[in-house]
Structure formats: structure tokens, C-alpha cells
Structure 1
């Protein structure tokens, strides 16, 4: 029986932005902030576009709300990413090695810092630290697989 196959690839354009802050720690932190902040803002654009299509109309008020959400989400997730990247780099420098443990420790510290900054108390900070460490470690292991 004859069969047909399809082969191809999909690629996206790569955009590199280099910001030199004079320190590798600051460079990585700002890079993480900008990249993840942009992703978060783009997520809001897609969500708001969906809502506009669903409603069938758009207003100046909707656009202003969408812009505020983009800025808020971009700043929040950019800050979280910046803290994480800085913590992971700091762990690498302190420990003198580059392995998954840096991701785990950086994620745990980031989870604790973000939780504490959100006025969480006690057990919530610990749980968020555990979650941050687990997510960062899982992401690091998945990164090794690809």
C-alpha cells in the first residue's frame, strides 16, 4: 500500500538583545527580566484579543485595561525571572560548579523571596520555596533531555 510522508521544520526568528550592565550577574538578571516580561505581556495581548473577539467589540477603556494588565504581568513575571536567574547565577558562583542543584537552590530562594514580598507568612513561604525549587529543578532536568 503506498504511503506518503511529510517532512519539514518550523522555526521562529531569533532576536538577541544585549544589555551590558558591567556585571555578568546584572546582565543575566536584566536579560531574564526582559525576556520573560515580554512573554508575560504577549500572553496578556493574546488573552485580551480573545476577549475582544468573543465580545465582538473594543473600546478605549478595554485597551487601557489591557495595557495596564500587560505592564503589570510583564513587570511581575519579569521580576520573578530576574530574581531566579540572579539567584541561580549566584549559586553557581558560590558553589563553583554548574549543575541542577543551582537551579533547585535558585528556585527555592526565588519562591521564598517572592512569597515574602507578597506578604505571605510562615508555612506559605516554605511551601512557595519548595514549589520554586521543584519547578526550577524539573525545568533543568527537562532542559537536559532536549
Structure 2
């Protein structure tokens, strides 16, 4: 980092990427919108399948949209925020960050079950998926192609 009296120049800021909060919010919004789409389509499908009509159907779909949008968004925001935080603490950009943040996020998401075995299993599964995903994603955030 080329800094004078603790100041970062434009190159340092670009190489560091956006702050962790920005990454978490970006993930919440992007993946949350995918959850909204999933909730809209699957909620509508399930409402018809279960025989909901009129206002009952609209309420069912609205709950599905909210549940999926917030759930997916919170999961992605937590993962990306943790990933960035782990990267900052370790001062390294490698697959280990994805493994650690995936494990923590998986445990966090499954904690409401109260079942330690399920928490451990979800933690390992999310960690493995996040680690595999780390090898597939671009090396820079956000991927600009420059």
C-alpha cells in the first residue's frame, strides 16, 4: 500500500475493493432479488397446488416472496460480509476465507433448529459449497473484467 501519513491513494482503494458492509449489502440485494423471484413463481405454483383462491392466494404468494427474499438475502449478505471480514483479519485472499465464512454462515442459518448434528452438517455442506465456489468465481470483486 502506497500511503503517506496513513492515506490511501486511488489504486489502493481499487485493489482493496469495496468495504465489507458494501459487499454484504450487495449480496443481500442481488441474491434477495433472486429469492423474491423464486418466491413469486414457486409461491404462485404452490398456492394453486394447495387450492388457494383470491385473497388467500395473494397472501400466500406475498408470504412466499417475503420469506424467500429475506431468507436468501440474509444468507448471502451474512456470507459475503463474513467472507470479507475473514479476508481482512487474515490479510489473505484465498479459499480458506470461503471455507471459514461458509462454515460460520451454515451454522448460523441452521442454529434455529437447535439440533447440533444438523448445525454441523449444514456448516460442513455450506463450507464445502463456498470453497468450491471460490475456485469458480473471478479473482476480483466486483468482477469488472479489467
Q: CA deviation at 1:53?
A: 7.6
1:89 counterpart SS class: helix
Alignment of 1:121 onto 2:115 = yes
Pairing 1:27–2:5 present: no
Q: 1:42 aligns with which of 37, 44, 64?
A: 37
Q: CA RMSD in A?
A: 2.4
1:75 has 2:90 as partner: no
TM-score, length-normalised on structure 2? 0.72
Answer yes or no: is 1:108 the counterpart of 2:103. Answer: yes
Given the alignment of the two structures, is residue 135 of structure 1 paired with residue 135 of structure 2, yes or no?
A: no
Match of 1:61 in 2: 56
TM-score by length of 1: 0.72
Q: 5+ unaligned residues in a row in structure 2: which ranges?
A: 1-17, 139-146
Gaps spanning 5+ residues in structure 1: where?
1-22
Rounded Cα–Cα distance in structure 2 between residues aligned with 1:129 and 1:54: 33
* 1:49 CA displacement: 4.3
